[in-house]
Amino acid sequence: MNPEWRHRRIVDLTEEELAEFMGPSEHVAPGVKRIVDKIRASPDHLGSITCLMVECLKKQAGPYPYTGKGKGKEKDAGQGASRPQS
């Protein structure tokens, strides 16, 4: 994350800045995308949310698509892949 953006509000970012902040869309967890969309849709209620707050959510969500590494939930790792039977 660009250190200058730590205290910038999500609603103040341009579309280009938001795309740079979020990174490639295929690598952002759907829940984080949904939250950012809600923030931008309701600036009167959620306008105080900063880039640092969303960055924390991105880190908490872990890598996406889920690889089974990091903080992503194991049940989400390898969706559709068969697991060895014990």
Q: Would you write out the chain's pLDDT as a tens digit for each of its 86 residues?
A: 778 888 999 999 999 999 999 888 788 888 899 999 999 999 999 999 999 999 999 888 877 776 665 554 544 444 444 445 55
pLDDT at 79: 44
pLDDT of residue 26: 81
Give every CB contact of residue 69 below 8 A, 6+ residues apart in sequence. 62, 63
